[in-house]
Amino acid sequence: MQAIELDAQDYVFPVEARDLFSHKNIIKAIHASQHTQRNYDLSKELPIEDIKTIITAATQCPSKQNIAFYDLHVVVNSTVIKSIYETTTSIHDDSGNYETLSNPQVLGNMLLIFSKKKQNLSSKSKHKEVNESFTSPEAQRIVDNDTHVAIGIAAGYVNLTASLIGLETGCCSCVMNYDALKNMLNTDSDPVLLMGVGYKNKDTNRRAHPLLGTQEHKDNNWREKFSTLKKESIKISYIK
């Protein structure tokens, strides 16, 4: 086999070329789904069909050997979502730790929390590698790796599905108070990823802090607008 490496200009599709694809609506949804939403229109309510579609994307995506590596927690109650948001936010202290940390991407019309499902590492485990002669730490490493892969795939499904039906998403893995979050979810499994899902606030920049101007924002010295970086190109090699 021979790998053909392409220069950057060969594998980055220019904006004007995106309309040449037969599936241009999907291509546009893919590009739109790259953006993290931090300002949702909370005056709207998600219809049940959209909620069911997002949950289907989160639970019916591929996983290794069809194992359920994670539990999914779904929240649509805005008061509960705000309480969960507070577990991802750190009030700055005298030492300066996390002085500007706030994660409003979870303040969506719906919030999904993916948590690790505790796996049975006994000989009856569905996880085939665990059934082999691995030590317990090695078996746990494999399961942990497969869990994160499964959650990553699920998050990708949710991200693209949401974009296709006109919704926005924002991911967060910064949980400052795991104990409080696990208590809210009534679970002993560890949260891995939080995803806000909802409607874009068309009147506000998606990178602006939704609490801008409030006393809470001023007291915590949070930034007015979140920074962004240009997406790096991914090298593509065509194998002959």
| pLDDT per residue of the chain (240 residues) written in tens, 0 to 9 | 555 554 545 555 566 555 666 778 888 898 889 989 999 999 999 999 999 999 999 999 999 989 999 999 999 999 999 999 989 987 656 665 555 678 999 999 999 999 998 766 555 566 666 655 555 788 788 889 999 999 999 999 999 999 999 999 999 998 888 899 999 999 988 999 999 999 999 888 888 888 888 888 887 777 788 888 888 888 888 887
Question: By residue range, what is the domain housing residue 184?
Answer: 3-239
Tell me which amino acid residue 41 is: D
Distance of CA 20 to the CA centre of its chain: 30
Prediction pTM value: 0.82
Q: Which residues pair with 200 in a beta bridge?
A: 40
| 3-state per-residue secondary structure call for 130-164 | HHCCCCHHHHHHHHHHHHHHHHHHHHHHHHHHHHH
Asked if residues 42 and 203 have their Cβ atoms less than 8 Å apart, the reply is no
- With residues binned 3-state (H G I as helix, E B as strand, rest as coil), the percentages for the chain, rounded to 5, are 40, 15, 45
Distance of CA 70 to the CA centre of its chain: 14
CB-side neighbour CA atoms (13 Å) of 200: 17
DSSP state of 125: -
User: Which residues, including other chains, have CB under 8 Å from residue 147's CB and lie 6 or more apart?
Assistant: 69, 70, 116, 117, 119, 192
Domain with 23 in it: what CATH number? 3.40.109.10
Tell me which amino acid residue 117 is: K
Q: How many domains does the chain have?
A: 1
Tell me which amino acid residue 218 is: K
- Alpha-carbon span 63 to 154, nearest angstrom: 9
